[in-house]
Amino acid sequence: MNKELRRVSYVVLAMFVALFLSTTYITAFQADALNADARNSRALLASYSAQRGPILVGGQAVAQSTPVDDQYEFQRTYSQPDLYAPVTGYYTLGQGARGIEDAMNRYLTGNANSQFFDQVNSLLTGQDPEGATVNLTLDPAVQQAAYDALGSNSGSVVAMDPKTGKILAMVSKPSYDPNPLASHDRQTVTDAYDSLIADPSAPLQNRAIQGDLYAPGSTFKLITTAAALESGDYTPDSEFPNPATLTLPGTSTDINNAEGGSCGGGETATIATALRLSCNIPMAQLGQALGAKALQEQAKKFGFGDKSIGVPQAVTPSQFPIEDSKGQAINDATLMLQSFGQGSDRVTPLQMAMVSAAIANGGTEMNPTLIESVLNPDLSPVEDFSPSEYGKPISSQTAATMTDMMVQDVANGAASNARIDGVDVAGKTGTAENGPGDPYTLWFTGFAPAADPEVAVAVVVENGGGQGQSAFGNSVASPIAKKVLEAVLNK
């Protein structure tokens, strides 16, 4: 064989080897993912010939497939769409899937590895294949209360059981109707999808866990306080200078307390007073004293920056950056702003609910989840979805101390509109600034009853609740949270 033919044979052999390895890799490692991917048109058409499993809330189907007389055999329908669409998402021809429909697709289609024997049984018996039933943790009454309380505002409400991590309510507004997206007419699907994508209010974003993150405002003071107490160098009675105005180091920028003036009067202010009255200046000084790394480490322990958190949908990680866009360490002025929830720190409502839930649960943080159970058509469980621990971001002593401080915040402080007669509510408000003249972002996060918590909640309201810069977290977000807490406590 001459040199030229030998070279050609080597090239051809290399191509066959590459093709063999690529095919083997896809078959061995990517087959399940590709088969379950809702964008796989071949798998999609095949899946429509099987009855896709329902998604249940409180035992009632909020998404289900019913037989129809066309080539697809089953039509996906969604009940109470505006209430549940941000959670359930959609399953479409041509535009993929979103929400639970996407995250639990392999179970709903019956293609999960744990459903292998059911697949074999369907082949052997000739029975039509069926997907599994996905039961969500959402409580219909709590979900409805959160939806109604949020009203016409854009924003989100998350409520969860702090002892289990089960999400009782997850509301995002504005919402949308996924039924047109489930049409068997591709043009109808495309038109509906394009309209939603073009909507500047971004209804497809589940604001509780995804999309543009929010400045946390004074709710971040919970993390600053936790870092201080965990350090062992501070107590609730630790004092800081108490001026009415403070110029940030190296700048000509002044910061003030939310109510103006000093923090409760006097030459000094304690950490407890600063949290109760939501004072910015003492918290800025505390953050500076703690340092950027200590604050970031505490935030990470609560879940900030963690890309692995899923409910099961992926959750956009919350952020507490300690470097600027050029990779340089943030200066003291920026750190002081971030210490009370301004600057570059950004959060999801779920993250702030997790912070409150960890405090409520004695310092132990549970993994948040929307999945109660997944059942085969014969009602046998497909997999175990038992509650699991995320971590222990703070000690039980710190949790107890912070609970007492948060109770005072509601009973005699800046979160007074969350009070419930006969119940000790622990809470923290936030009023985040977004730029000169821009409406505030309004917050509440907390839990109840303080002694034996049943529910932790986070509320965020965009655009100042329609009141620009005239509204505050306590005037808008606290009453919403109160109604959600009552919906759980009054069951």
Q: Contact at 8 Å (CB) between 245 and 257?
A: no
Give residue 122's identity as a one-letter amino acid code: S
Give residue for tokens 């179970």.
107
Q: Measuring CA to CA, which residue among 162, 143, 57, 48 is closest to residue 100?
A: 57
Of the residues 172, 218, 278, 339, which is catalytic? Answer: 218
Give residue for tokens 């403070």.
246
Give residue 292's identity as a one-letter amino acid code: A
The Cα–Cα gap between 482 and 448 comes to 10
The Cα–Cα gap between 234 and 298 comes to 15
In this structure, the number of other CB atoms found within 10 A of the CB of residue 293 comes to 10
Give residue 400's identity as a one-letter amino acid code: A
Give the angle 418-160-99 at the CA atoms, nearest 5°: 125
Estimate to the nearest angstrom the gap between the alpha carbon of 284 and the chain centroid. Answer: 27
Q: CA quadruple 228, 232, 233, 237: dihedral positive or negative? A: positive
- Whether a cis peptide bond, with omega within 30° of 0, leads into 312 is yes
Q: Contact at 8 Å (CB) between 388 and 367?
A: yes
Describe the crossing of helices 473-489 and 140-150 by its angle, rounded to 10 degrees: 160
Residue 218 annotated among the catalytic residues of the structure: yes
Partner residues linked to 269 by β-bridges: 240
Give residue 305's identity as a one-letter amino acid code: G
Give residue 451's identity as a one-letter amino acid code: A
Residues known to be catalytic: 218
